[in-house]
Amino acid sequence: MLPFQAEMIRAFTESDASFEGIFFTGVLTTGIFCRPTCSARKPLPKNVTFFASTKDALDGGFRPCKRCKPLESKDKEPEWVEQLMEAVEKDPAHRWKDQDLRNLGIEPERARRWFKANHGMTFHAYSRARRLGKAMGHMKNGQSVTETAFESGYESMAGFTEAVKRFTGRSATSAATAVRIYLTRLMTPVGPMMAGASDTSVVLLEFVDRPMLPTQLERVQKRFDCVFIPEENPVLAQLKDELSSYFEGKLTKFGVSLNFPGTDFQQKVWTALLDVPYGKTASYLDLATTIGDPKAVRAVARANGDNRIAIIIPCHRIIGSDGSLTGYGGGLHRKKKLLDLEQGIETLTLFG
């Protein structure tokens, strides 16, 4: 149920965030247990042991670290962040200044660091993106560009059109009619994921630390000729609920609508992946045979790696012909965790 010892030692030593929720480290010399990302001074490898869950660590007589707090949901938004997000949603047109943050008792630098680490942008960039996203929603529903600009808090048409162009790469008129893909960050027991959806379907679900994520976002933008909006919509809300049930072992088949344009070959492979049953695995050869091209094993493997809707299109269920865990963009430790879950070996709980 755990990654190889050497891999866990490396991950703990390097504070590798992709192993959050995969294992916990018990320090033999102090009797405490920590997250992989604990910022405390790292003990010698000979002085650590590893656990698959906090329960195992507690049962082993270890107590939780007071610094990294492994019993708490690491990525649950702090109370001050929830307060700030509520304020943004209450008035998306507001132009936030540092003093506005101080008035709420929030240090601007603290907000900048948290949003940069968790959303890949500063708080001010996030609030601007939300303001523009809301504005584009109004335009898509028929409101004029001029009316939208001033209702959104912009002092001039020139300022609004320039902001839209910087944000979307399009003119305000073009952005108003473009397909909107809503993006949100979801926390899961196997690490944070980026999810994207149109008004009707999920188009992206990828681990945020996967190096291929920027490429996948570019492909989504090209395939849908879209603009990205940092906001949750009903499709993403449904996805979040279904993921929660999945990780609790209560859901074996997702019901949320999917849209995964690609080449004809890619779509054949991705469609075949959807037919690999929960709790089962198949090989690349099995998949190639299923689509009627048993010689296309390498091409199938490439298409598997290009899947941009992880977990739901279950590329993690594809293993080597010898039964080995091979190739997974999210990391083999995650692949093993997902297969353990589906085979009833482990139950996980969604983070915040």
Residue 68 annotated among the catalytic residues of the structure: no
Task: Using the Cα atoms of residue 13, residue 17, residue 18 and residue 19 in order, give the sign of their dihedral.
Answer: positive
C-beta neighbour count of 9 within 10 angstroms? 17
Distances in whole angstroms, Cα of residue 202 to Cα of each of 58, 113, 119, 235, 271: 39, 29, 19, 7, 15
Question: CA 352 to CA 232: how far, in whole Å?
Answer: 15
Question: CA 154 to CA 143: how far, in whole Å?
Answer: 15
Angle (CA) 124-126-127 rounded to 5° is 65
Q: Select which of 34, 38, 68, 315 is catalytic.
A: 315
Question: CA 98 to CA 108: how far, in whole Å?
Answer: 6
Angle (CA) 122-127-129 rounded to 5° is 95
Using alpha carbons, select from 39, 42, 34, 40 the residue that is nearest to residue 13.
42
Active site (catalytic) residues: 315
